[in-house]
Structure 1
Amino acid sequence: MEDADVLKKRGYIMGINLGEGSYAKVKSAYSDRLKCNVAVKIIDKKKAPRDFLDRFLPREIEMLARVKHHSIIKTYEIFETSDGKVYIVTELGVQGDLLEFIKRRGAIPEDIARKMFHQLASAIKYCHELDIVHRDLKCENLLLDKEFNIKLTDFGFSKRLARDEDGRVILSRTFCGSAAYAAPEVLQGIPYQPKVYDIWSLGVVLFIMVCGSMPYDDSNIKKMLKLQKEHRVHFPRSKVLSYECKDLIYRMLQPDVTRRLCIDEVLTHTWMQENKSISDTTLSKPGECSHHQRTIRAVYGKESGPENSENEEVIQEERHVDMDKLSAQMQRTSL
């Protein structure tokens, strides 16, 4: 049976294609029951690799059914047909993903980036408190709703932490995610603490948000790894960033896993506290224009942030990855 017919029987009118891979695709659809547009991920198990079917798909379904947070994409329904197709129906990120947003608009001013990043960090704190790790945090996996709120999605590489008989976390040995967002311990193939890996990826995301470019060029992994291990973070001089913002990024992009921030330390960092209002980090009621959205409309595109201040630990560099190369870098082969 065709996908459109399957969905129609479940009360969905299939729309446009949102993305497609070798064994999965994402379609938009309209739900008669919900009276709104949704996203439908369709996985063809006959085409999917065995490792994905045995390990990653069951984990993704488990996590989607388990997580419920206002900054995590909402899952409405998961079902499977007799011909081996799995349909995952979720909330639709109507404003697209964060990568496309930055490609269209450029770097995000600090005051807006702070609100968005706080939403993302809150979602990660929620997951980490449940002993769930995402392991594939990147701009393409951060969708924006109609109010420009962050919605974390794609739990394909997520997992629940395993612990030994003494309650200590068992290190992960699955090296997943995208190279551009990968921590040095992952690139080196060293068994790693999954929560600490998530923090590194958060640092990369925040850098991209406020700089509009990548912190490291992953076209040369050997060179990138050398820079990471030396704890060199090159901020473009063309961007005026506060010391506090750079300090938070620098502490998340810490190669020493014993010194890298945990999620609570990220959320309590000085930069995260500035001008933060509870109303800015919660969703608006349907039909209302949130303060968060009004701020984006009123401020977006203007330079913001205090005068640049020197940080002897952070090396600034004129050369940085320009926006024309950003998409290609973010879409290179995953680990």
Structure 2
Amino acid sequence: MGPPKFPKVNGYDLVSEIGGGGFSTVYRAVNIPEHRVAACKLVRFTDDTTEKERKTVEKEMRVHTALKHKHVLEFLHAVIVELKHRHIYHPGIYMLLELAGGGDLFDKIAADVGLDEDVAQLYFNQLVSGMSYIHAQGVCHRDLKPENLLLDAAGTLKISDFGLSAVFCLKESGKTRLLTERCGSLPYVAPELNSEDPYKAEPVDVWGVGVILYTLLCGNTPWDEPTAASPEFCRYVSGRIFIERPWNRIPSEPMSLIKGMLTVDPEKRMTLDAVAAHPWCMRQSQLASQGLAELASRLTESIHQNGEMNYAAPPTLNGPGPMDTDDEDTIMQSAPNHQSQFTQTLMLFSQTQSGARYTPHLTRFYASLGPALLMGLIHEALEALSVKCKIAPAVKEGPGGSQRHRLRIGGWDKRRQMFKGWVEVERFTYRGAEGSFCVMRRDEGNPISWRQLWKALIESQAVEPHVLRK
């Protein structure tokens, strides 16, 4: 009997790890006969898993299953494998979810620059539409932050991760309740959660939506936390911050929205209905009718302008040329809506040694050094940036595929938020000589901070001389 494996989940096989969080791992899943792709979130069971932890995940599934909206990541199916079957399968709860083929929304935004107003307005309206629906179902998300906003292959925003959500209103009776649990990430959490008093559900999410609008426009969060411990928050409350950059470059209409949603007193804070009726939100979107290629181009405008896209997608490389892709990438390209104008314009299908591969992370680069040498320099450069690094065993990509060197990394960003992820390097032939293809894949943390780390790595003294660019 071999080692435990993953079960089939509603006809889907788990094929490769694509992300994760504190308590879960997310895999790409493919249904080969139907040429379909999905994501599968696995929350593992161990002998230490408590009944309370299980109930929390079961609550997340109950809430997420009931939510059906075009701006909510769709919950497709679930399978539970108990510990008694661990000799055959990895035990845990397997949640089959819609695959957000466009990757992270904030992966495409330059740090401290943000999006132009039209793109920000389009995505902000989609967020408000999704959150209005979620609240109408009596659910409060409680963990709105950039890493929980994904894009499908058509560039449509999808709200994800209902692990901290709570039901605050019973739809049948309309009866509401106050919430008491303290949760969320400090840069996005509402100030009323700093007290011990029960709090109203909806204003907490409105605050999170307000922080996200600021982040869309400015390419960073406004403060570390909404308390007296944050000098930026104190200057916001006093009004002094509005003459400073980047606040003073926010146009007046979205600024009035930000102030309305980031009103410290939850009783005076704007409601989502008032937000949706605001003139800025009611304005006809010029982008909505201009096609997916234009949307992708406008979304990545800031990382094109600052040159970052030149690293993620350099000129045609004298690599292997067109080659057979493996099954999962062939399916990725032929699956309904995945090889779209949006994903092609974003260049989410990268050329690798074994052919074109779906790589939803724009935090990647090519180098003129071989993988073993490059990985040594990356390790050295990241440790100089105070990033914790641990070498992981290399993995081989399918039959005849190249070996992938891996480094597990983690640390704290400038907003004191934890990040974790992987640096993966594999061989790539460049002008007849050995080169490398490197992807930085984030599991946890702010995508904008992750992009800043990627940029610091490729500009580091050790790595920069070997990086290929357009």
TM-score normalised to structure 1 length: 0.78
Identical counterparts, % of pairs: 25
- More displaced stretch, 71-80 vs 16-25: 16-25
Say whether residues 1:329 and 2:415 are aligned partners: yes
Change (3 A) 1:184 1:169: same
Distance, in Å, in 1 between the alignment partners of 2:416 and 2:38 is: 25
Q: Give 1:125's aligned amino acid.
A: S
Provide, for residues 261-318 of structure 1, a one-character-per-residue CA deviation record: whole Å limited to 9, x for no partner.
11111111111112237x939xxxxxxxx7355234257527xxxxxxxxxxxxxxxx
Change (3 A) 1:213 1:265: same
- More displaced stretch, 40-49 vs 108-117: 40-49
CA contact (8 A) 1:211 1:239 kept: no
1:92 to 99, 124, 141: 99
Note the residue ranges of structure 1 that are not aligned, 5 or more in a row: 282-289, 303-324
Note the residue ranges of structure 2 that are not aligned, 5 or more in a row: 84-90, 303-410, 420-444, 446-470
Match of 1:320 in 2: none
Q: Within 5 A, what are the aligned runs for 1:63-78?
A: 63-78=63-78
Say whether residues 1:57 and 2:64 are aligned partners: no
Whichever of the two has the greater Rg, that structure is: 2
Q: Any idea what SS the aligned residue of 1:40 has?
A: strand
Distance, in Å, in 1 between the alignment partners of 2:222 and 2:247 is: 14
Say whether residues 1:129 and 2:136 are aligned partners: yes
- More displaced stretch, 17-26 vs 224-233: 224-233
Distance, in Å, in 2 between the alignment partners of 1:131 and 1:219 is: 26
Match of 2:288 in 1: 280
Provide, for residues 165-215 of structure 1, a one-character-per-residue CA deviation record: whole Å limited to 9, x for no partner.
x96632110011111100100123332111110000000011000110111
Change (3 A) 1:298 1:130: closer
Higher relative contact order (CA 8 A, sep 6+): 1
CA contact (8 A) 1:231 1:255 kept: no
Change (3 A) 1:126 1:231: farther
CA contact (8 A) 1:182 1:200 kept: yes
The structure richer in strand per residue is: 2
Match of 2:220 in 1: 213
Q: Give 2:301's aligned amino acid.
A: G
CA RMSD of aligned residues (A): 3.3
Q: Any idea what SS the aligned residue of 1:280 has?
A: coil
Match of 1:236 in 2: 245
Give 1:79 deviation, angstroms.
1.3
Q: Give 1:42's aligned amino acid.
A: L
Say whether residues 1:174 and 2:174 are aligned partners: no
Match of 1:19 in 2: 19
2:279 to 270, 277, 287: 270
Match of 2:295 in 1: 295
Distance, in Å, in 2 between the alignment partners of 1:62 and 1:69 is: 15
Q: Within 5 A, what are the aligned runs for 1:104-183?
A: 106-162=113-169, 169-183=176-190
Distance, in Å, in 1 between the alignment partners of 2:134 and 2:40 is: 23
Number of matched residues?
300
CA contact (8 A) 1:147 1:293 kept: no
CA contact (8 A) 2:101 2:153 kept: yes
